[in-house]
Amino acid sequence: MNRARALISFLATTTLLGGVGISSALAQSPEVPALSLQLGGASLQTDGSVSSALKISLMIAALSFLPAMILSMTCFTRIAVVLGMTRTALGTMSLPPNLVITGLSLFLTFAIMHPVFSAMYTQGLRPYLDGQMADEEAFEKTMAPLKKFLVHNAREKDLALFLEITKSEAPNDVEDVPLIVAVPAFVLSELHLAFQIGFLIALPFLVLDMVVSSVLTSMSMITLPPVVISLPLKLMLFVIVDGWHLIIGSLVQTYRVL
């Protein structure tokens, strides 16, 4: 008990002396010292260009828009929708899981878009980081391959629709199509084609479900759910034809990557 009291007294005395010391220091110099934080080289140069450190900071900030860009400016949407509709047509509920579908769609997106990403890095991003290109020119050079991909994989009627919505003039070249037109037209075309592919995939499974239901009804087995019989048959049919391989191969062939 004596040791505990001595320790508490020591801590209390130390705290009190520390507070007195800080109070006396503030009393002697009431002004708070100025603090400054500086990023090395992160400033505008005399010629108006952006320094390398600020370029990196802007690139890191742009990463927050990466999920939206993947969803709306790559082939991720079509692949994810088709794979999800395939799972629904099979009737396997949550198998494969959403994480598997998302991961497969993401890696397929990178595989399909690899030539486009390589062209974007070679033509615009690398010269910009090396200081060989101005900001505006680098942006145009970087987005040119992506814009070409978006326009070539979008339907003409969708491009015309968003040209009318944005009240933009009809461009003479692919490079003249604004991103505000190319991106939504591409997404709309992706959804249209994804639902077309999903319908073609679901149609044979629907016929199989109807046949099984008709057979069970004719046998007066009304109380037996048709999905109990049709699910193994659909899985067997899907495995025999190597369904996942066919679907992925067909999806890759639907894109025109320059």
Three-state secondary structure call for residue 44: strand
Q: Note whether residue 225 is domain-resident.
A: yes
More confident residue, 224 or 110: 110
**From start to end of 129-192, where are the E strands?**
none
Q: Note whether residue 249 is domain-resident.
A: yes
Task: Give per-residue burial for 79-95: e unless 16+ CB within 10 Å, then b.
Answer: bbbbbbbbbebbeeeee
> Letter for the amino acid at 139?
F
Q: Note whether residue 2 is domain-resident.
A: no
Residue 116 structural domain: 52-153+195-253
Q: Note whether residue 29 is domain-resident.
A: no
Q: Is the pLDDT of residue 246 over 80?
A: yes
pTM to 2 decimal places: 0.69
192 pLDDT tier (thresholds 50, 70, 90) = very high
Cβ distance 108 to 74 under 8 Å? no
Q: Note whether residue 24 is domain-resident.
A: no
Q: Is the pLDDT of residue 250 over 50?
A: yes
What is the percent of the chain with per-residue pLDDT over 90, rounded to a whole number? 6
Q: Note whether residue 57 is domain-resident.
A: yes
Average pLDDT over the chain reads: 75
Is residue 172 packed enough to be buried (19+ CB in 10 Å), middle (13-18) or exposed (0-12)? exposed
Q: Which of these, 205, 154, 214, lies nearest to 184 by C-alpha position?
A: 154
Measure the CA–CA gap between 128 and 135, rounded to whole angstroms. Answer: 7
Q: Note whether residue 221 is domain-resident.
A: yes
Is residue 155 packed enough to be buried (19+ CB in 10 Å), middle (13-18) or exposed (0-12)? middle
The pLDDT tens digits for 23-61 are 444 444 445 444 443 444 444 444 444 556 676 777 777
Three-state secondary structure call for residue 93: coil
Measure the CA–CA gap between 137 and 246, rounded to whole angstroms. Answer: 42
The pLDDT tens digits for 195-217 are 999 899 889 888 888 888 888 78
Cβ distance 117 to 148 under 8 Å? no
Domain count, the chain: 1
Is residue 194 packed enough to be buried (19+ CB in 10 Å), middle (13-18) or exposed (0-12)? buried
Q: Is the pLDDT of residue 1 over 80?
A: no
Three-state secondary structure call for residue 178: coil
Q: Note whether residue 110 is domain-resident.
A: yes
